[in-house]
Homo-oligomer: A and B are copies of this chain.
Amino acid sequence: MTERIGFIGLGIMGKPMAGHLLRAGYPLTVLDIVQTAQDELVAAGARAGTSPQEVAAQSDVVITMLPDSPEVEQVILGKQGVLEGLRAGALVIDMSTILPSTARKVAAAARARGADALDAPVSGGEVGAKNATLTIMVGGAPAAFERAKPILEKMGKNITLVGEAGAGQITKAANQIIVGVTIAAVSEALLLAAKAGVDPAKVREALMGGFASSRILELHGNRMIQRAFAPGFKIRLHRKDMNIVLNTARELGLSLPMSAHVAELMNGLIAHGGAELDHSALVTMFEKLANFEMGAASQ
């Protein structure tokens, strides 16, 4: 039996993801507050939904791809929300990046309706969404994961069930910690080189083979040297994710000083007008501290 899918949230990520499902032949109902995004998919063969409740009533699997926790709470748990229309035996897959505690709340509410839920946040950005190469980190029950897998495989490549409800969001939070703090590490290292009059491009190359090697040194390090700050992944979105990290840490009674420092530097960069820049632009905050720009030495 082909699952009937409802897809709510057709933004930069959601629209191409829903498009893959449509092309794969799934009967698809779509919903977004932006009419034009919805129209495009309807023109391609999707059915237009009228409310989250109505979308859920028409679907075996409901996928949400929304900006943040409050939107997920509203769309799934709110008035005329997914929960109110959800059929027993249905499956909710929330692919937004949100608080792990909200993901657990959604999962408990779905179970109370006789349905299932997975949290399945992604990494890989707009490019990954368009090319169906997203990394998908999943939390939930193994049976629900097996049911979701053929659907998720239409949108991504590395798809891992990490643990129970919320584990997908925890994994995404861990990812954003490492990416953010490693960007800061590479910033300080390359800035030390440039300020000392040593070519940061040569330092980056010399370090790529050893213990300091990382995807961040490779990609973001190069962006810093080239001053290529067009996104990529925007600072304001990474800042949002660092808020999730720090709020979750507070809920857990955990102190994360490095993450907190990076989040504060992101706040500073946004104050300086950098919200829409790639997160590798964090290096400019370290440059402000030093009253020195790396570009000056490396060109």
Q: Which of A's residues lie within 8 Å of B, judged by CB?
A: 100, 123-124, 135, 137, 139, 158, 160, 162-164, 166-167, 170-171, 173-175, 177-182, 184-186, 188-193, 195-199, 202-203, 205-207, 209-217, 219, 245, 248-249, 252-259, 261-262, 286, 289-292
Contact = CB atoms under 8 A, between A and B. Distances in A.
A215 to B, nearest CB: 5
Contacts of A210: 123-124, 135, 158, 175, 215
Contact of A177 (B164, B192, B216, B254): B192
A189 B259 CA distance: 9
Given A207-B171, A209-B135, A210-B124, A254 B191 contact: yes
B174 A193 contact: yes
Of A186, A206, A249, most buried by chain B (CB within 10 Å of CB) is A206
A254 B214 CA distance: 24
A173 to B, nearest CB: 6
A211 B206 contact: no
26 contacts: A135-B209, A160-B206, A162-B198, A162-B203, A162-B206, A163-B197, A166-B196, A170-B196, A170-B198, A174-B203, A175-B189, A177-B185, A177-B189, A178-B212, A181-B184, A181-B185, A182-B214, A188-B256, A188-B259, A195-B252, A196-B248, A196-B252, A210-B215, A214-B217, A253-B292, A258-B258
Secondary structure of the A contact surface, majority rule: helix
Contacts of A173: 189, 192
**Shortest Cβ-Cβ A-B pairs, 4 listed:** A214-B214, A181-B185, A174-B189, A178-B212
A212 B219 CA distance: 11
Nearest to A138: B206
Of A170, A189, A190, A254, most buried by chain B (CB within 10 Å of CB) is A189
Contacts of A177: 185, 188-189, 192
A215 B215 CA distance: 10
Contacts of A135: 206, 209-210
B170 A253 contact: no
B261 A258 contact: yes
A192 B258 contact: no
Nearest to A204: B174
Nearest to A245: B192
